[in-house]
Structure formats: structure tokens, C-alpha cells
Amino acid sequence: MKTDGQAHATRTLWNLLHAWWRMMPKEKRSLANADAAIRQAREGIDFLAVLPAQAAQAVLKTYFRAWKNCWEGPADAPNFKGRIRTVMSVDIPQGRDLNITRVHRRWGMVSIPKVGRVRFRWTKDLPVGKRADTENRITGARLVKDALGRHIAFRVQTLEAEPAPRQGPEVGIDMGFSVPRALSDGTVYEHGEWLTGKEKVRLLHLEQRAAQRKRHRRPGERASRRLQHTYDRIAGLRAKAKRRAMDWQHQTTTRIARTYGTVGVEALTITNMVKSAKGTVEEPGTNVAQKAGLNRSIHAEAWGRTVTLPAYKTARRGGTLAKVPAPGTSRRCSACGLTTSGSRESRAVFVCKNPDCGWSGNADHNGARNVLHLYRRGLALVPAAGRAVVRRAKPAAAR
């Protein structure tokens, strides 16, 4: 499909731009010089001609924004994009080029520059036709190809009234493993396995087949079509599990934002929590395998989204999301407020060793109550800011 060629051209243009950035002196690294280099590359390389000029400008803006995020925030510096690990995507920065029409209750048509008319699955109402104006309109789109197929996500700009401050109940959230999300009022949110039993068996069978076929490949030899097809099926199952996890997190955080006016969470430094314990050759680490398993569990539960998702959902409803200091929330007794050694008998049970208290209960529930207590004591950090009024529509499957 032509969109695949545009996606590869987008990745190649990014790599060329990054190579140009590293080669140029600092005094010549400017937006105007980069734009001139891109125009020269598109004229001299026929492969890049399949990419529309506006999409090439979007690559340039994204690259400079990546450097700005690196200089001003905790983001890493941009790097080269590999062919295998990079998501194939093309950005359409201007919405007037899309010419969206709805042809059926479930289907719509959109114009893609240098591709033509493409049919997509209509999954959410869009401001098109008479519903579009200067305040509610489509500002662009993004084509994405992943393991589950091709999708198009429209950027929709809408004008929303500023919500009134909401005076609702307060709640603290603790993130764990035995109970993924525990609330201070006793509510728990749990989930099962993201893949069914048959899907797990199929995934194991595909991984074994891929390992067997990989043994017959010579060093440096490209993967055969059969091996690549096996890799694609493995990626499809893993993408399905990831999408189910995202759906559960969105439903959970939306329910929390609708129910509570103030949500308190732990200010966790997840980047430091998931560092490897291998150490160095001079000072090797201990319990490396156990720490690696813990890191995989933290990544699987996606604790970071428990902060980012409720941040804009509570702000949109007039609520507040506050971060509290994380140290001590899992070892402090929520009944008496004392921290005693040996209170955390196991991962799931907390028993206070204070002879005057002796409270016992679920460890995650105890941590959630401590989070709420810290917020009520005025120890909350800077509240997480809400998003702007610009929101994005759900991705639609292109056919």
C-alpha cells in the first residue's frame, strides 16, 4: 500500500535529519537550515518524493520538539529510528486536505495526500460538514500501522466550557501487584490475564516455532517469509494484550474521575524503580533475576498511566489530582500513624507491630489510606495539571 512507502520515507527522513544535526556545527543548527536540507534531500532522493511536503514539514517540527523536550524536561535526546522497532506512521498536519465524508452509519471516506480516497471505520462522531466551524473542527490526522492493522486517528479541536470546581469525595490510590488498584475507601480494581488460555497456548507455540526456524538461519541472513509471518502473528497477540490492558486502565480511571472530586496518588519515580540490578564487573549486583521480574511486573501494570490518565480526566470534570510523597506509605500504619519494623509481613498483608494498635488488613488498602492521610495533612506536592481543551478522537480502522 502507498501509505507504507510514506511511512518508510518518514522514518528515513527522520534519520537523515538526525544525521545532519549531528554533523552540523552548533551555530548552524537552525530551523531554517534544517528546512533547506530537507528540501534538498527531497529533490535529490526519489524515494522521499512519495512523502507530501506537509508531512515532511511535520517531521521537522516533531524533531525540533523532541530536542526541546530533552532540554526542558526529563525526556531523552532523539535518536535514530530502526526499521523493526519503529511504529510505521505518517502525519497529515492540515485538516482541510482530508475532505472527510460519511457514506454509511459505520463507514466514512477520507482523502490521503498522494494516496487517494480511503475508507475507514466510523467509530466516533466527527465535526464534518455543517457541524464543523472555527471552534469545532478537524486539525489533522495520523496514519498508523501496527500489529493489528492500519488505523487513522483524527486530531479534533473543540471548545469546551471551563468546568466549575467540583466538591466531591476524596480518595487515595495505591498501586500494587496482588491488588492492581486499591482505593482508600475499600474499593479495589482487579483484572485477570490479558490473554485467554487458548491465546496463551497459541503464543507459546508461535514462539517455539520462531525459535526453531531461527536456528536454521545463518548469521547476518535476513529472516525468511515464514519466520517473518510467525513474528507478525506473535506481535499481533502481544498487541491484543496491550490494547486490552489500555482499555481496562481507561475504564478504571474514567470511573474514578466520575466518582471522586479529589484523587491522591503517590509521586513515584518509576524510572529509578525499574533500573537493572546487574551492577558492574567490579561490583556485580545481587538478586538480579528477582529484580528483573519485579521490573517486568511494574512495566506490565503501567503505574505511570495511573497518574497521567486521571490527571486530565479529573481536570475536565472540575476535580483535582494531587501527588503525595511516596516514601513510607507502604510501611506506615494507617490507623495509628506509626512505622514499625516487620509490619509488612507479606506482599498482601499488613500487621501493625505497635502493641497499642495491632491493626491488620490488606497492605494495598493500608497504603491507599496513607496516601489520603498525607493529602489531608497538606503534604501534597504540586497538583498535576490538566490537559488543554484539544482532544483526540479514537482511532478508526482503515480498510
Range among 159-168, 314-323, 356-365 with highest mean pLDDT value? 314-323
Residue 74 vs residue 41, higher pLDDT: 41
188 and 332 co-located in one domain = yes
Work out the average pLDDT over 196-207. Answer: 94
350 in any annotated domain: yes
Last residue of a domain, one of 134, 159, 184: 159
* pLDDT of 128: 82
117 and 217 co-located in one domain = no
176 and 319 co-located in one domain = yes
**Mean predicted lDDT score pLDDT of the chain:** 82
The DSSP line for 50-111 is GS-HHHHHHHHHHHHHHHHHHHHSSPPPP----TTTSPEEEEE--GGGT--EE-SSSEEEEE
What is the Cα–Cα distance from 88 to 82, expressed in whole angstroms? 11
Is residue 287 left, alpha or beta, with left meaning phi > 0 and alpha meaning psi from -120 to 50?
Answer: left
26 in any annotated domain: yes
Residue 172 clears pLDDT 70, i.e. is over it = yes
92 in any annotated domain: yes
Residue 190 clears pLDDT 80, i.e. is over it = yes
Residue 388 clears pLDDT 50, i.e. is over it = no
The DSSP line for 280-345 is -SSSB-SSHHHHHHHHHHHHHHTTTHHHHHHHHHHHHTT-EEEEEE-TTTTTB-TTT--B-TT---
What are the tens digits of pLDDT across the range 242-296? 999 999 999 999 999 888 888 888 887 777 777 777 776 666 777 778 878 877 8
Residue 113 clears pLDDT 80, i.e. is over it = yes
59 and 188 co-located in one domain = no
* pLDDT of 1: 62
Grid cell locating 389: 481543551
251 and 334 co-located in one domain = yes
Q: Which of 181-190, 229-238, 247-256 bottoms out in mean pLDDT, i.e. has the lowest?
A: 181-190
**Bridge partners, 138 (sequence order):** 156
Share of the chain above pLDDT 70, in %: 92
Which secondary-structure segment (H or E) carries 38?
helix 31-44
Helices (H), 197-263: 197-215, 225-259
195 and 320 co-located in one domain = yes
35 in any annotated domain: yes
286 in any annotated domain: no
8 and 138 co-located in one domain = yes
The amino acid occupying position 30 is S
29 in any annotated domain: yes
Residue 108: domain span = 1-159
Residue 208 clears pLDDT 90, i.e. is over it = yes
Last residue of a domain, one of 130, 159, 188: 159
* pLDDT of 384: 43
202 and 346 co-located in one domain = yes
Work out the average pLDDT over 175-189. Answer: 84
Last residue of a domain, one of 127, 159, 191: 159
Residue 389 clears pLDDT 50, i.e. is over it = no
Q: Which residues, 6+ apart, have CB-to-CB distance to 232 below 8 Å?
A: 147
pTM over 0.75: yes
Grid cell locating 138: 478537524
Residue 387 clears pLDDT 50, i.e. is over it = no
Share of the chain above pLDDT 90, in %: 9
187 and 140 co-located in one domain = no
Residue 386 clears pLDDT 60, i.e. is over it = no
* pLDDT of 394: 44
Per-residue pLDDT band for 385 (boundaries 50, 70, 90) equals very low
* pLDDT of 281: 64
348 in any annotated domain: yes
215 and 361 co-located in one domain = yes
Number of domains observed in the structure of the chain: 2
Residue 348 clears pLDDT 50, i.e. is over it = yes
107 and 179 co-located in one domain = no
In 3-state terms, what secondary structure has residue 140?
A: strand
Residue 306 clears pLDDT 90, i.e. is over it = no
278 in any annotated domain: no
16 and 103 co-located in one domain = yes
Residue 383 clears pLDDT 50, i.e. is over it = no
* pLDDT of 393: 40
